[in-house]
Amino acid sequence: MIIQKKILKNTLFIDIETVSVTAHFNELPEVMKSLWIKKSQKFKKDKDREMTSKLAAGFYSQKAGIFAEFAKIACITVGYLSNDKGEESSLRLKSFVGDEKELLEEFNQLLNNHYDRPDEHFLCGHNIKEFDVPFLCRRCVINGIELPRLLNISGKKPWQVAHLLDTMDLWRFGDYKNYTSLALLAGALGIPSPKDDIDGSMVGHVYWEEDDIDRIITYCEKDVVTVAQVAMKFAGMELIGEDRIEVV
**Cβ atoms within 10 Å, residue 124:** 27
Of 84-98, 133-147, 209-223, which range is least confident? 84-98
Which of 190, 179, 94 is closest to 130 using CA atoms? Answer: 179
pLDDT digits (tens, 9 = 90+) for 20-78: 999 999 999 999 999 999 999 888 877 667 778 889 999 999 999 999 999 999 999 99
Question: Of the candidates 199, 135, 128, which has an alpha carbon nearest to the alpha carbon of residue 164?
Answer: 128
Alpha-carbon span 128 to 200, nearest angstrom: 15
Please give the model's pTM, rounded to 2 decimal places: 0.94
Give residues with Cβ within 8 angstroms of 222, minimum separation 6: 193, 194, 196
Q: Using CA atoms, how far apart are residues 27 and 61, in angstroms rounded to an integer? A: 12
Residue-wise pLDDT tens digits, 64-122 = 999 999 999 999 999 999 976 556 789 999 999 999 999 999 999 999 999 999 999 99
On the 0-12 / 13-18 / 19+ scale of CB atoms within 10 A, 226 is buried
